[in-house]
A = this chain, B = another copy of it.
Amino acid sequence: MNVKLKPEKYLRYLVPLHLFGARRTREILNQNPTIIPLREDSKEVKITVYDYNATSIEVHELKDVTECSRFLGSETISWINIDGIRKADVESLCNYFGVHPLVQEDILSINQRPKMDDIDNILFCLLNMLYYNSEKNTVEQEQISIVLGNNFVLSFQEDANRDVFNSLREKMKLNNSRIRQGGADYLCYTMLDLIVDHYFLVMESLGDQIEDLEEEVVRSATQRSLAKINQLRKELIVLKRNMPPVRDLINGFIRSDSDLLDDRSTKYFKDIYDHIVQANDLSETYRDMMINMHDLYLNNVNLRMNEVMKVMAIVTCLMAPATVIGGIFGMNFESFPWHSPYGFIGAVAFMLFVPIVMLFVFRKRGWF
């Protein structure tokens, strides 16, 4: 008899394994920033250049990073965006623009912690765009690297199929837009602002999940609810891992005394700072709520179990006296006290009477 090999019998009482998402656990735990060779070159690469100043703008879609060299040193502000990362492209582009090898390594790395650096008169920051995958109910990350130099901004995105900065592009094409008036630092600010603002959308989706889950837990707490609670807690780990380092990153921009940042731009970065602090607070609130919900789940599961056990115990208990009475009159003594014709009815009535009295007493004491 091999019980262990037929878990499907047992699992009727448990939840399908995939719901608990042990694979998701691996994804979340797998955070090794150092194994650079693991990054595969992306198949598709899109290179777009926006070369603009307050009065004019040129948009180029390039085929090769080598063409970028001509934007170096121009008076206009050049924003070169690379969708999809290839080692060769990143290295040649960065070498044109004098970006330090350590920064190049960071851009090519995966699972890096959000960070900000000021090396050789270049401001570099790396952070994650967060997306909410509503199918898998997971928070997905895309690593974004931004290099701010003198009159140029380089941005690197992992996924060629979705572009974070599309809304920015629309604004940029308008001649009188604020972004066209500003310098490269303002462009950099706008990009960071876009990313941080998107965090709130992700949190909103998580908030909806939490609300639905709370309703489910209150209404009918099953093992499935516990699986969801666990899953949500894991996604909150992703948030927690991103918020504080991004806060430090933005703070790095505020306190930076680099010439690349206009004095007036500090107040813009302060604005992002306020937002990321708020997002961080909010994610703390989410965590507290999940703990409360776990308590609520345990309580409801317990309550229902107790309810059942109590009813069973009471029913069993109520039957016991009747069994005893039946036993009494079932004894085979020859000399039987009451041989009256109503003996049977009386005994049955007594069998009914005792449990009713007990029921009354139990009720009186508020036991059910």
Interface residues of A (CB under 8 A from B): 1, 3-4, 7, 9-11, 13-15, 17, 20, 22-23, 25-26, 28-35, 100, 102, 112-113, 115, 117, 119, 197, 200-201, 203-204, 207-208, 210-211, 214-215, 218-220, 223, 226, 230, 233, 237, 240-241, 267-268, 270-271, 274-275, 277-278, 281-282, 285-286, 288-289, 292, 294-296, 298-301, 303-317, 319-337, 339-345, 347-348, 351, 358, 362-368
Secondary structure dominating the interface of A: helix
- Check if A17 sits within 8 Å of B311, measured CB to CB: no
For this chain, the copies found in one complex come to 5
Neighbour of A333 across the interface among B32, B322, B344, CB < 8 A = B344
> Cβ of B323 and Cβ of A327 under 8 Å apart?
yes
Which residues of B lie under 8 Å from residue A197 when comparing CB positions? 34
Q: Enumerate chain B residues within 8 angstroms of A288, measured Cβ to Cβ.
A: 237
Contact partner of A325 (CB less than 8 A), chosen from B270, B301, B327, B340, is B327
Instruction: Give the docked Cα–Cα distance between A304 and B326 (Å).
Output: 32
Are B312 and A314 in touch, CB under 8 angstroms?
yes
Cβ of A343: which chain B residues have Cβ within 8 Å of it? 333-335
Check A29/B282 contact, CB under 8 A, given A13-B303, A211-B22. Answer: yes
Residues of B contacting A282 in the complex (Cβ-Cβ under 8 angstroms): 29, 31
Contact sample, A vs B, 5 pairs, CB 8 Å cutoff: A3-B366, A226-B299, A230-B296, A326-B326, A335-B343
List of B residues within 8 angstroms of A207 by Cβ: 25-26, 29-30
Chain B residues with CB under 8 A of A26: 207-208, 211
